[in-house]
Structure 1
Amino acid sequence: MKLFIDTCNWKLVLILKKDDQIIDSLILPDTKKVSDIALSTITKLLSKNNLKINDIQEFYLTNGPGSYTGVRVGLTIVKTLKTLNNEIKVYLMNSLAFQAANDQAISILDARGNKYYIGVYENQKSLIEETVVNLSELDDIKKTYNDFIIKKDNESLDYIQTFNLLEKKFRLVDEIEEILPLYIKNFI
């Protein structure tokens, strides 16, 4: 059994998958208090499907960038579970790459304060290092990559379809110490 968790960007997204079948999913928008509800919501989803946390052998997570607290929530839950059972597998992908999917895309996430997390991808290959930019820098990047799709703030993102599409492209981490958040800081 597999569980996808995204807590990075003001949503709680959970997808349960067995073999090639989606068993269940839950997307809670505008969860500014994701730290208060994530663990209990995961437990409820598992219980609804007659599962326990020990039934999950593989965890897929986005590891940021995004909400500072949100990024840590999913990672902390899974890091704790891996500490208790090192046999579980943990796969990571950054939230900008997840949003871009396999498209030729400029992936943008609101970093607050008129700043934006940005990544530019072509079929999951990063063309620039993920960074934080202001509006004028964002406009320059859009001009440079003017034939790329703009994907912003997970608008219209079909999480299930995207997870199914990208599952094999998540990076397996071998050690607990590799379960790290992607924090992008800007020191302007």
Structure 2
Amino acid sequence: MKLFIDTCNWKLVLILKKDDQIIDSLILPDTKKVSDIALSTITMLLSKNNLKINDIEEFYLTNGPGSYTGVRVGLTIVKTLKTLNNEIKVYLMNSLAFQASNDKIISVLDARGNKYYLGVYENQKPLIKETVVSLEELEDIKKTYNDFIIKKDNESVDYLDTFNLLEDKFILVNEIEEISPLYIKNFI
């Protein structure tokens, strides 16, 4: 059994998958208090499907960038479970790459304060290092990659289709210390 968790960008996204079939999912928008509801919502989804947390053998997570607390919530839950049972497998992908899917995409997430997390991808290959940019810098990047589609704030992401498409592109982490958030900082 597999569980995808995304708590990074003001949504709680959970997808349960078994034998290449999605058996259930839950997407809660505008979860500014994701830390208050994540664990109980995971428990509820599992219970609804007659499962317990021990039935999950593989966890797939986005590890940021995104809201500071949101990024840490899913990672902390899974890191704790891996500490208790090192046999579970944990796979990570950054939020910008997930949003990009396999397309030619300028992936943009609101970083607040008129700043944006940005990644540019073609078939999941990053063409620039993920960064934080201003609105003016974003406009310049749009001009440079003018034949790329812009995806912003997961507005047009079909989480189920995207997870199915990208599942094999998540990176397996072997050590608990590798289950860490992706923070992109801009000191300028």
TM-score range, shorter chain: over 0.9
Q: CA deviation at 1:128?
A: 0.2
Aligned to 1:57: 57
Question: Secondary structure of 1:5's match?
Answer: strand
Please report how far the alpha carbon of residue 105 of structure 1 lies from its aligned counterpart in structure 2 after TM superposition.
0.5
Counterpart position of 1:25: 25
Give unmatched runs, 5+ long, in structure 2: none
After superposition, residues 113-132 of structure 1 pair within 5 angstroms as 113-132=113-132
Partner-residue secondary structure (3-state), 2:38: helix
Instruction: Calculate percent identity across the aligned residue pairs.
Output: 90
* Distance in 2 (alpha carbons) for counterparts of 1:2 and 1:30: 24
> How big is each residue's C-alpha offset from its partner over 1:26-68, in whole Å with a ceiling of 9 and x where there is no partner?
0000000000000000000000000000000000000000000
Partner AA of 1:175 in structure 2: E
Report the counterpart of residue 96 of structure 1 in structure 2: 96
Aligned pairs for 1:2-17 (under 5 A) are: 2-17=2-17
Amino acid at match of 1:32: K
C-alpha displacement of 1:19: 1.0
TM-score using structure 2 length? 1.00
SS at match of 1:87: coil
Cα distance in 1 for residues equivalent to 2:154 and 2:147:
20
Shift of the alpha carbon at 1:79?
0.1
- 3-state SS of 2:162 partner: helix
SS at match of 2:120: strand
Partner in structure 1 of residue 39 of structure 2 = 39
1:81 corresponds in structure 2 to 81
Q: Which residue identity is paired with 1:146?
A: N
Q: Report the Cα distance in structure 2 between the residues aligned to 1:125 and 1:159, rounded to whole angstroms.
A: 19
* SS of 1:42 mapped into structure 2: helix
Q: Which residue of 1 aligns with 2:150?
A: 150
Moved over 3 A (4+): none
Give the letter for the 1:118 counterpart. Answer: L
Pairwise CA distance, 1:149: 0.6
Task: Name the CA distance, whole Å, in 2 between partners of 1:33 and 1:180.
Answer: 20
Alignment correspondent of 2:181:
181
After superposition, the C-alpha distances for 1:60-92 in whole angstroms (9 at most, x for unaligned) are 000000000000000000000000000000000
How many corresponding residue pairs?
A: 188
CA RMSD of aligned residues (A): 0.3
Distance in 1 separating the partners of 2:19 and 2:120: 31
